A and B are shown apart, each in its own frame.
Chain A
Amino acid sequence: MKFRKRTGIKLNKVTLVFTGILVILLSALTITSLLYFNIQIDAVKKMSDPSYKEYGNHYVLITDDNQDSFWDEVYQGALNAGEESNVYVERFGEDLAVSYTKAELMEMAIAAKVNGIIVEADQSEEMKALIDQAEDKGIPVVTVMTDCYGSKRQSFIGLGSYNLGREYGREIIQIANENTKKVLILMNANTDDNNQNILYTGINETLSNEGNHLNLNIETKIVNDTGSFSSEEAIRDIFIDSEQLPDIIICLDEENTLSTYQAVVDYNLVGDVKIIGYYTSDTILKAISQDVISATIAVDSKQIGKSCVDSLNEFINTAHVSDFVTLEVTTVTQKNLKEYLNDDTQTGN
């Protein structure tokens, strides 16, 4: 029996293939769209539920100025060191709408029952009382950069003001010649602060021991005695009287270094007034390469942060920690700038 051969069998085949492709295409598109949709939805789900890591201990870093790049690096060093030892270090007060004093932040940290406090202390009674209060409540305190003598703090991590003074003194001797007469040291207004006195002594003794061939007149000027922004104004004042211009200006912090640098450039006194600065920010290093700043004290700020966390860890773990941790400082001049930068990149900073 013969069966009917389909008419237009070719056309049917084409139609079949075409519809097949259409179905596959549509299905593929639909599935792709659905997968894409799913991925997007997942992304949204993740976005609104941020993941975070849990830590064992909670330390806080309390400093005067939250905007300073020096303290930023210290904090970064502390944070990294904490990460290794299951500790989270908080830059206390950073996220608050009100800017509190160190004392207030200390009080808050104590009330917040943190596990450890790192504080840029001072010699005030209030600070001393707060440190003691914290220690009484079982919160170990380490002071950093500036100490609070006589308090119950567990440890002080700093550069050692006398050493720092000697570094400054040696740099003055390097830069000075017969014509150099006046050296101006820019001081901060914390009258209670013993550190500046020790530093000053350090400079003086170095100059009298190693630089007695020079006839130098050392002066100090307090620049931040009248509140916010006063130091910059005070530094500008120095340059107004051209008769009284110092030959060398010693800056003891980053802010003053930058202000002095800017003033020297503005008054067109590059080469006439030499600067020995503090800290190695990008701007300062650039100024050194241009010989606007003669030398600067390089501090390994990350190492400071790490030492703070290490000290607190050590105390919490062993109930004992060394009372005083001094960190080495180096001086960066145009001569060893390249070396310094190489070292810096090698250590990954």
Chain B
Amino acid sequence: MIHKPVIKKREYKIPIKTKLILVFLMTTIIIFSVNMYMYMNMNYMITKIDKIYVSNTKLNELQNALSGVQGKMTEYLNTKSSDSMEEYFNYQENYSSLLEDLNIKTVNNTGKLMEKNIRNISESYMEITDKAIQAKRGRNVEKYKVLYEEACKYYAYIDTYIYSLNNQQFQNNSSNYEILFSSLKYFEMINMLILTLVGCLNIVLILILTRGITKPLKELSEAANMVAEGKLDITLVEITSHDEVAVVSHAFNQMVRNLKSYIEQLKDSMESESAMKEKELLTAAHLKDAQLKYLQAQINPHFLFNTLNAGAQLAMMENAEKTYTYVQNVADFFRYNVQKNNGNVTLEKEIELVDNYIYILNVRFSGDIHFNKKVDESLINVQVPSMILQPIVENCINYGIRGMEGKGIIEMSVYREDDSICISIRDNGIGMKQEKIKEIMEGQIKVSDLSSDSNGVGIGNVISRLRLFFDRENVIEITSMGENLGTEVAIFIPLEEKGK
């Protein structure tokens, strides 16, 4: 997958440098060739304009040569000097050679036909002048005079002809010149237009061609920015070119792929670690659950209090009044525990439970505990969480009264105080240290601190449940005046919560 494009790349690799050179070479060639073409044509026009009056110049030369011939002939006829004869022949030769350039064919073009006539008349003229020179040399006075007259006539004809042709050509040339000159200006404009067009075309071409080079770079940088922002799930950069950018793009793609797979691996290992931890935790929870199930299996309250009920009935049949009452109380005590399923009971039930508990303890400890209660009967129907008073009383007995000398007294009073119902449980036991009270209030008592014969519900638990039930902090107050001065636990139930 990685190697294939590498091989391909080598086959089609065109470096950016070559690409750029090709682009600029191409546009330059276009501009250059168009320019060259225009330049050559314009040059042709200019040469044409330059040459336009050449025909006039030639005719002027012709006329000069002609007058030279005529002049020298006259001079010779006048002076018979060999110099003038030589010059005459020179002029004649020159004139003849100039005539060679003139048209000799019969054509339907006025100018060309005039050239033909000039040439022919000139030839006739030169025959005459030659004859005149000959006659002069032969001293044939009569003849050369006649010939001279004739030559003069012919000279005048040719002169007129050349003059007329010159005139005609000048007119022609002037109009041609005008046309050429105006077209030259016109061509300059077309030239400019074409150059502008080609320039625009080149700019567009350069834009298109360089776009092919810069576009992959731009895409690559965009992709790199995305990766820099942490978006590793970007799609890979498409490799369209086969140049240096392609190499970089390929490397970039490889890097992104590697990063991705690395992160994937990291994620996998983290996931397996957390799974292991979870498993551990789950094992612990299951253990607890198993312990609980075990405990529950051990104590089946229904079984217990049915058994106790049976015991109570047996005691009644045997007329053992005290035993009956005792067993009945124990049964009631346990039934209460079974009934508190929903967790909320009336205060009356709670108080009854305390009564049962005290009775059972008094049987156990042969009436050591004096329990006085002072209850405002109008308040006993208030709903409270179950198992809140019994643990407190148990606490009073276990920590307050048990270790003391003399008679243990527990007083419970239920009364109204401001907006609250106050349930106060007071003992005259050994009292509590302030540190201990603080510890209890802050819930620092541990489970292991519970005594072996408690029913398992500690004061901390009571406080927590009261706070949760009434949704406020100050539900309980523990006060102790000092050592051996007893302890008071006061529970405050908000009156407006009565309906709960």
Residue numbers of A with Cβ under 8 A of B are: 1-7, 19, 22-23, 26-27, 29-30, 33-34, 36-38, 40-41, 44-45, 47-48, 50, 52-58, 88, 90, 95-98, 104, 107-108, 110-115
Contact = CB atoms under 8 A, between A and B. Distances in A.
B183 A108 contact: no
B120 interface: yes
A29 B207 CA distance: 19
A30 B113 CA distance: 44
Given A4-B237, A97-B163, A58 B194 contact: no
Contacts of B179: 44, 47
Interface stretch (B11-19, B195-203, B443-451): B195-203
A52 B108 CA distance: 6
Interface stretch (B154-162, B357-365, B367-375, B398-406): B154-162
Contacts of B108: 52-53, 55, 88
B194 A112 contact: no
Given A26-B204, A41-B41, A47-B179, A88 B34 contact: no
B106 A22 contact: no
Nearest to A26: B201
A112 B207 contact: no
Nearest to A115: B106
Contacts of B205: 23
A10 to B, nearest CB: 16
B176 interface: yes
A140 to B, nearest CB: 16
A4 B238 contact: yes
A113 B124 contact: yes
B41 A58 contact: no
Contacts of A38: 41
Interface string B195-223: 00110110011011000000000010011
29 contacts: A1-B1, A3-B235, A3-B236, A4-B219, A4-B236, A4-B238, A23-B201, A23-B204, A26-B197, A27-B201, A30-B197, A34-B194, A36-B190, A40-B187, A52-B109, A54-B107, A55-B107, A57-B106, A58-B116, A88-B106, A96-B161, A97-B164, A107-B153, A108-B117, A111-B121, A111-B125, A111-B154, A112-B116, A112-B121
The 7 closest A-B pairs by CB, nearest first: A52-B109, A4-B235, A58-B106, A111-B124, A26-B201, A112-B117, A112-B120
B262 interface: no
Contact of A37 (B41, B223, B238): B41
Interface in B126-164: 153-154, 157, 160-161, 163-164
Contacts of A44: 45, 48, 179-180, 183
Contacts of B294: none
B114 interface: yes
Contact of B109 (A7, A22, A50): A50
Contacts of B164: 95-98
A123 B176 CA distance: 46
B172 to A, nearest CB: 9
B223 A4 contact: yes
Contacts of B105: 54-55
A40 B168 CA distance: 26
A27 B193 CA distance: 13
A114 B116 CA distance: 10
A5 B113 CA distance: 80
B24 to A, nearest CB: 17
A41 to B, nearest CB: 5
Contacts of A98: 160, 164
B469 interface: no
A35 to B, nearest CB: 11
Given A30-B194, A107-B153, 14 more contacts: A4-B235, A6-B238, A19-B204, A29-B197, A34-B37, A37-B194, A41-B187, A44-B48, A44-B180, A52-B107, A96-B164, A97-B164, A104-B157, A113-B123
B234 interface: yes
Contacts of B154: 111
- B interface bracket (residues with beta carbon within 8 Å of A): 35 or more
Contacts of B109: 50, 52
Nearest to A137: B124
By DSSP majority rule, is chain B's interface helix, strand, loop, or mixed?
helix
Interface in B372-389: none
A255 B98 CA distance: 44
A57 B113 CA distance: 12
Given A3-B238, A48-B176, A95 B110 contact: yes
A23 B167 CA distance: 53
A47 B182 CA distance: 14
Nearest to B124: A111
B221 to A, nearest CB: 13
Nearest to A90: B113
B190 A97 contact: no
B465 interface: no
B38 interface: yes
Contact of B235 (A2, A52, A96, A110): A2
B39 interface: no
B32 interface: no
Contacts of B121: 108, 111-112
Given A4-B234, A26-B201, A30-B197, A88 B120 contact: no
B34 A41 contact: no
Contact of A111 (B114, B157, B180, B197): B157
Nearest to A15: B211
B190 A95 contact: no
A75 to B, nearest CB: 13
Nearest to A50: B109
A113 B186 CA distance: 46
Contacts of A45: 44
A255 B229 CA distance: 109
B416 interface: no
A30 to B, nearest CB: 5
B212 to A, nearest CB: 12
A23 B45 contact: no
A30 B183 contact: no
**Best-surrounded residue of A3, A52, A104 (most CB of chain B within 10 A):** A52
B112 interface: yes
B124 A34 contact: no
A96 B160 contact: yes
B236 A37 contact: no
A30 B160 contact: no
Nearest to B176: A48
B99 to A, nearest CB: 13
A107 B153 CA distance: 10
Nearest to A36: B190
Interface in B16-58: 34, 37-38, 41, 44-45, 48, 52
A268 B276 CA distance: 144
Contacts of B194: 30, 33-34, 37
A235 B1 CA distance: 117
B56 to A, nearest CB: 14
A41 B45 contact: yes
Contacts of B34: 30, 34
A83 to B, nearest CB: 9
